[in-house]
Amino acid sequence: MHLPNKDVQKKSPDLCIGIIGLGHMGAVFARNLVNDGHRTLVFDRNRSKREGIVGAEPADTLECLKPCDIIFSSLPNDEALSSLTEGKHGLISFLKKGAIHISTSTVSPAISRHLSQLHTENGQSYVAAPVLGNPDLAAARKVFFMVGGAPDSVEKVSPLLNELGQHVFSMGEDPGHANLMKLAANVMIATTLESMGETLALLRKGGIPAELGFEVLTNSLFDSKVHKAYGGKILNERYRPAGMVVPLALKDMRLALTEAENTATPMPFVSLVRDRMVTMMARGWDTLDWSALGLLTSQDASLPSSSDLSDVLPKVSP
């Protein structure tokens, strides 16, 4: 089910909005909210990050977010989300009645269901709204949100989400379904990256320039955004700066495979890609973009690299 788009929804400029976590995505959301005229409070454990959002109010502690009607969290994993939400000094302990916590993090369905219950018990609401898209797309307001939560809460936050992205997909009342959908999408991207890396390596080894092969593939049957954008990173060996670093991608594969095991869903290709990411970690590629699956394939095929990756690639003797 699609939620109404931004053209038919009214903005709520009087909202006080908080942002927890000012990484690549959280910082972009904060800047866009400030530009829209919202009172925006920002918290990150890194002081320079929270003071670096021009026009926002830096929050020195989580408790400074008390005035907020809606709080976004953009955090790397279950542990970070849980530690900032639960406990004596967590978000739940001081968030006002009726306030809504929107988690844009890629986390497990289980943690979303758990936190949703805790928020409800404290008179608050929890909406899972993981994001499809990278920081560049977020800056252009072209990301997609997959949203799960109580219908009235989803209805309240959807105008705000439509300000920040190009479309909101409703995944129903179970917040875990929004997270499962995001994990499934990341599985599709990761397996596509592995497939494109292998294909481009085969073409190069066979004497066909990778640029020509990429042009044929992405201008015929494989013309999706994933093939063009991520395949372009592999083609140009553009693995820095990373949109999603390898450790986070590996975390997502692990979460997806946990759900697969829980539901008795065989996913052999995902298991392979997970192992490929473990290999990347073993090589010290933890700062590279997950599209470096293509680099791994080319290295396995003994193909030369034209990028300046001397800090992570084996040194070649003259």
Is 109 within 8 Å of 55 (Cβ atoms)?
no
Question: Residue 189 and residue 230: Cα distance in Å, rounded?
Answer: 8
Question: Residue 52 and residue 31: Cα distance in Å, rounded?
Answer: 10
Residue 261, token pair as written in the block: 């095991």
- Which residues are registered as beta bridge partners of 169? 2, 146
Helices (H), the chain: 24-35, 47-50, 78-85, 91-94, 109-121, 135-139, 151-164, 175-205, 210-218, 225-235, 246-262, 268-282, 293-300
Question: Residue 74 and residue 60: Cα distance in Å, rounded?
Answer: 17
N-to-C CA span, the chain? 59
Residue 273, token pair as written in the block: 């890609």
251: number of Cβ within 10 Å: 19
SS3 string, 58-84, reads ECCCHHHHCCCCEEEECCCCHHHHHHH
* CA distances from residue 315 to 234, 284, 304, 311 in whole angstroms, order as listed: 21, 14, 11, 9
Question: Residue 36 and residue 57: Cα distance in Å, rounded?
Answer: 15
Residue keyed to tokens 């918290």: 43
Q: Is 182 a catalytic residue?
A: yes
Instruction: Say which of 6, 156, 182, 233 is annotated catalytic.
Output: 182
Report the catalytic residues: 182
